[in-house]
Amino acid sequence: MVRERGRSRPRPVWFVTGPVCVRPSRRRIVRSLETVRRTDIEIAIHATEVASQVIRSAVHGPVTRFAKEADDFATQTDLDAERAILDVLTAACPTDRFVGEESGVTGAVGGERVWLIDPLCGTRNFAVGTPLVAVNVALQVRGTVRAAAVAEPFADTVFWTAGAGAYRRHGGHDHELLPEADSRLVDVDLDHPFPWPSPARLLGAEGFAGRFHARVLSTALALVWVAAGRRAGYVTGGDLRDSVHFSSAIAVCQAAGCVVTGLGGQPLHTPPHGLIAAADESTHAELVAAVAGLR
């Protein structure tokens, strides 16, 4: 195991024929699971990797949008990536239950094992060719995440945990994640409202402005970047219980040793909900105080 140092170098899209990208066949994806150890975490990692292949292969193609609630939408790539994940998971764990962002609940009813799937976290980014997207797969057993993987498709990287420690897999090697707050970079998710005034107010708030360097990112990458030492912290609103978008990245952050609480510094998943993740205790305390000043 290698300890995390620096960023991995992105690798070019594969599966390219001339200027047209070709989607990997689902048969090839599922059969390739035979070469992977059949532990829950390896299944989760493999599922995010095959979805990443689908996403990379579609990046230069046309974007087909399907309307959802309000101005939200999914693309054909969201659907294809989720289908690829489900092909892997149902082949490996046919008696489990699956909760997908696009397909909803499928599989066994009332089982203790539930897979949470977000096939393309950052759909808006993907739709305009911005490569800041993630793939999230988590296994909950009796309500507790036991295996979690967050892929960064355009870096050919997976952040993962099986509960003891957190790691970055790149090029077939695993590197231990080490949170680090020296950058003072903090991502604020502006898409999920706080229970009090707009999260955008945090950017100019006393205790935040001048102390931190704000960035804005609304994907699970922001959370795993805290675990990897690429960000000092991350702040978002919303009720994140059993979230297909956040469960995997929260598990990785916690396993890496980050401080993860609700917006008020209270236990995660309790009112007023939301999330503050920080690389260390002092950074977390500063962020909690800055958010409290908005009430």
pLDDT tens-digit map of 162-187: 999 999 999 999 999 999 999 999 99
pLDDT tens for 71-124 read 899 999 999 999 999 999 999 999 999 999 999 999 998 889 999 999 999 999
For residues 97 and 247, give the distance between their C-alpha atoms in angstroms, rounded to a whole number: 16
Token pair of 142 as six digits: 């009796």
> Mean per-residue pLDDT for 246-275?
97
185, containing H or E segment: strand 185-188
For residues 214 and 226, give the distance between their C-alpha atoms in angstroms, rounded to a whole number: 13
- Structure confidence at residue 5 as a pLDDT band (50, 70, 90): very low
pLDDT tens for 18-54 read 222 233 343 444 434 443 346 999 999 999 999 999 9
For residues 88 and 195, give the distance between their C-alpha atoms in angstroms, rounded to a whole number: 38
> Mean per-residue pLDDT for 269-284?
97
pLDDT tens for 56-72 read 999 888 999 999 988 89
What's the chain's average pLDDT? 88
Token pair of 187 as six digits: 């991502």
Q: Report the share of the chain in percent with pLDDT over 90.
A: 80
pLDDT tens for 202-240 read 999 999 999 999 999 989 999 999 999 999 999 999 999
* Contact assessment for residue 284 and residue 176, using Cβ atoms and an 8 Å cutoff: no
> Is pLDDT above 90 for 288?
yes
For residues 220 and 253, give the distance between their C-alpha atoms in angstroms, rounded to a whole number: 11
DSSP string of 223-277? Answer: HHHHHTTS-SEEEE-S--TT-TTTHHHHHHHHHHT-EEE-TTSSPTTSTT--EEE
Task: Give the strand pairing for 233-236 and 275-278.
Answer: antiparallel
pLDDT tens for 117-168 read 999 999 999 999 999 999 999 999 999 999 999 999 999 999 999 999 999 9
According to the model, what pLDDT value does residue 192 have? 87
